[in-house]
Structure 1
């Protein structure tokens, strides 16, 4: 499965994605609002990539974002009804995640029976919250101390997008 936009190719993960994924997932700034610590070494990224390859083969819903032949991020249905996205820092604030998700969201609703898509975001991640609002997601609630990462508790803001009628 492959989706395309004006600037992007949204595709399944491949074994040769390891170095680009490690560059993304080992960057502390990129991982600041993620649900795990930055990857300390390539073996952590390799395990995640191996799992992602198998998951995509079974259910092609979480995509690699490729731009001009380079892997720059990931986006799609992360688990259950929850979407997620991450983008290499050098590509922030260029509308890339919005562009990717504008292709992925209709695909998800067309290929699943999900009544809604949800997102769980660190309340301090204003950029991601803004992207989600721009895509039509609305806040449903907040919760305290939902993630314990690196000895620090983080809160969550939850958003949802209902299936179009």
Structure 2
């Protein structure tokens, strides 16, 4: 399946491209961003972004779809994507700090989840946040994710196992929320 371009009032979700490497490296080299993510080391270098981008493809399975988030008129702001987890599809996301607190991730999540549930046969999407990331947890609660438990997850930037709040969103809850 070819990755679509998803447009909202303020955003464009599109396939990652090589030109994203510099802003990715810039934003992820901020510990306040990287420290909220499991699989991002700190410091984060341009070569890390370039290597990661080489693993992205426009022709992907729905469960491995990744989108760069562009804010119209401002450019690259962050990332949202899906990957296969132990229980099923997992959604992950991040924004560069200049874009925090503006509702951008909520808007991106709604569009990505609408697309995902319409395109896949998955009855559920998993996610979660480190226990201190209350802003991200608030977005998930607003969108209908429920907490399913706690686990310990390695945070590469912190070089430590960190308490993780595990969450999930069912298709039924998503459909009910959208009507």
Fold match by TM threshold 0.5: yes
> What number of residue pairs does the alignment pair up?
162
Alignment of 1:80-95 (within 5 A): 80=85, 81-95=89-103
Shift of 1:37: 2.0
The two structures have a TM-score, normalised by structure 2, of 0.84
Among residues 10, 13, 16, which one is paired with 1:10 in the alignment? 13
Among residues 43, 46, 55, which one is paired with 1:42 in the alignment? 46
- Structure 2 unaligned regions, length at least 5: none
Q: Is the 8 A contact 2:16 2:68 kept in 1?
A: yes
The two structures have a TM-score, normalised by structure 1, of 0.91
Shift of 1:151: 3.5
Structure with larger RCO (C-alpha < 8 A, sep 6+): 2
Greater shift in the superposed pair: 17-26 or 5-14: 17-26
Q: Is 2:36 the counterpart of 1:33?
A: yes
Alignment of 1:128-139 (within 5 A): 128-139=136-147
Q: Is the 8 A contact 1:22 1:39 kept in 2?
A: no
Among residues 76, 87, 101, which one is paired with 2:81 in the alignment? 76
Aligned to 1:108: 116
- Structure 1 unaligned regions, length at least 5: none
CA distance in 2: counterparts of 1:78 and 1:141, whole angstroms = 20
